[in-house]
Structure 1
Amino acid sequence: MSAATDAFLDMLASERGAAANTLAAYARDLAQAEDAIGELAAAPRAKVAQLAGAWAALAPSTVARKASALRQFFGFALDEGWRDDDPSGALPAPRTRRPLPKVLGHEAVEALFATAEREAEGNKPDAVRLLALIELLYGSGLRASELVALPLGAVPRDAPFLTVTGKGGQARMVPVSTRAAEALVRWRAVRPAGQSRFLFPSRGKSGHLTRVRLFQLVKALAVRAGLDPAGVSPHVLRHAFATHLLEGGADLRVLQTLLGHADIATTQIYTHVDAARLVELVNSRHPLGNRKP
């Protein structure tokens, strides 16, 4: 990548506190754009317009993401004096509709937990760990990356809260349910002793359980619970946490805080999920719901 794009990424990391995954995505999109049209800081508007053709086969959501990265770069380049124009207007602006998140129903959640609890009855470390993991995913709404990276010190012994470091290095407090607290006590009792500072250490290393391994564990549990693994993942459990809280009357602002969303617009997606559920309920249960007009 060019020196200008490197400087832009440094700014995202230092001034905006962008997460490693976010930086990697920006770096990839900017590098691909420079491969197509040359150095972005010097690319004329006509060259920038050519990206629409280069991106023609991509999904609208992918084009929107790439265009957003370039708009931010061009704004930065303008501020730095590297350009005297902003060619962002030449970028494609596809209309995208944000898909509703997958959500597990209450019965599916109960089946998942019944299986995990049954398997943990013998206090085998792997089974107890899995129970603690899904209790925190569904009971506290943690992101997978937040969960696997929890340090031991994040679990105070005298308060029902976890200290979580979320996106952009932002710390927040999240409540721990009674069930999750009990699962954590059980896990800490059988957790392998060692030098790892993480609550869920990786095997034979000082690091922590990976997100990929967490994903695999949850999928495998879904299969054993008789559920379709395609509809179950750590992120789906986080969505279920949010949706079920909203169904129970939780305030949207409270939900925003619990989920660690910087913008409440991100949290509002769950109002659409709840609305969709209500429409489905009326159509399936109301006497006139299935009657053709």
Structure 2
Amino acid sequence: MMAAEAGSAKNTLAAYRSDLTLASDFLDRRLGAASVADLSRLGEHWLALSRSSVARKSAALRRFFAFLADEGLRADDPGSALPRPGTARALPKTLEHADVDRLFAAIATRLARDPLDPNDLRLAALVELLYGSGLRATELVSLPRNAIAPDRPYLILRGKGGRERLVPISDRARAAVAAWRDTLAQDRAWLFPSGKAHLSRVRLYQLMKALAAEAGIPPERVSPHVLRHAFATHLLEGGADLRALQSMLGHADIATTEIYTHVDSARLVELVNTRHPLSDAQRMPRVDGTKGEA
């Protein structure tokens, strides 16, 4: 149902499968027949987990029991017994413009080597697309060989949930992709091949961590998703329209995109506190000529 009707992505299906399997193991393989008391006990077992993990697990199980009830496989739906911790939406991690400049400087140093390593061309193409187009990691590594055309400044992408969207591709990114693609054999199906398949998400993460270390940035601060966040944050800082940003990122709900307005607001507050003339809390002159608190 999740695959055929809801159109869930592979990663979502894998997460649901994992959560359902772990819950079933805890309940001695009796998940389908679990009672309200069983699910209350399961909720207590989750107490040591983060709120976000509990929320995700509860959502997966509630959908499972709703499915059983809809299909007539159960007469009741015990899902209401599962915890609803709520999730405090954290501000996404992002990078300053200077950090991004350092990443690209490290890439430029690599590309200046003689002889040139084709893997450095691949790295340049990956980072240009992550930061320049805001692609998700899975979307990026699974691009077909000819998905990006030299004469077309966009691509039509089928992303999360099977939703199609138009993704702008900068001149820089198209040039980087073209340089990398010239090194590929004609029979390769993927733009970023690896063995018989395409580059894995895990390997992409490793490449980003290694590049961060090379650029003098703590590796834990850089990941494919952080570069996607930087793409969105920096576009918004530059005056991008929120609806346009929602479309480019492929968010189903604009509330997801609105989190970047909080990032921008936090930056503005910081600017006021650190750059405003009154930020040093100087004493303001009183009417009598003395100074009072600012």
Q: TM-score, normalised by structure 1?
A: 0.90
Partner of 2:190: 198
Partner of 2:136: 143
Distance 1:215 1:273 in 2: 23
Q: Residue 150 of structure 2 contacts residue 174 of structure 2 at CA under 8 Å; is this kept in 1?
A: no
Tell me the percent identity. Answer: 59
Name which of 86, 95, 101 aligns with 2:86. 95
Q: Between Structure 1 and Structure 2, how many residues are aligned?
A: 280
Partner of 2:254: 264
Distance 1:58 1:290 in 2: 42
How far is the alpha carbon of 1:251 from its aligned partner? 1.0
- After superposing on structure 2, the runs of 4+ consecutive aligned residues of structure 1 that deviate more than 6 Å are none
How far is the alpha carbon of 1:110 from its aligned partner? 0.7
3-state secondary structure, aligned to 1:168 = helix
Q: Does 1:34 align with 2:24?
A: yes
Q: Does 1:234 align with 2:229?
A: no
Distance 1:283 1:50 in 2: 48
**Larger displacement relative to structure 2 (211-220 or 241-250):** 211-220
Partner of 1:159: 152
**Larger displacement relative to structure 2 (61-70 or 30-39):** 30-39
For residue 118 of structure 2, what is the amino acid of its counterpart?
A: P
Name which of 100, 103, 109 aligns with 2:100. 109
Q: Residue 150 of structure 2 contacts residue 175 of structure 2 at CA under 8 Å; is this kept in 1?
A: no
How far is the alpha carbon of 1:111 from its aligned partner? 1.0
Q: Does 1:127 align with 2:120?
A: yes
- 1:218-238: per-residue Cα shift (whole Å, max 9, x none)? 111111111111111111111
| Matching of residues 29-68 of structure 1 within 5 Å | 29-37=19-27, 38-68=29-59
How far is the alpha carbon of 1:194 from its aligned partner? 4.9
Q: Residue 155 of structure 1 contacts residue 163 of structure 1 at CA under 8 Å; is this kept in 2?
A: no
Partner of 2:277: 287
Runs of 5+ unmatched residues, structure 1 = 1-10
For residue 87 of structure 1, what is the amino acid of its counterpart?
A: P
**Larger displacement relative to structure 2 (144-153 or 90-99):** 90-99
Runs of 5+ unmatched residues, structure 2 = 282-292
Q: TM-score, normalised by structure 2?
A: 0.90
How far is the alpha carbon of 1:168 from its aligned partner? 2.6
Distance 2:160 2:204 in 1: 19
Q: Does 1:69 align with 2:53?
A: no
The structure whose Rg is larger is 2
**Larger displacement relative to structure 2 (67-76 or 100-109):** 67-76
- Structure with the larger helix share: 1
For residue 5 of structure 2, what is the amino acid of its counterpart?
A: E
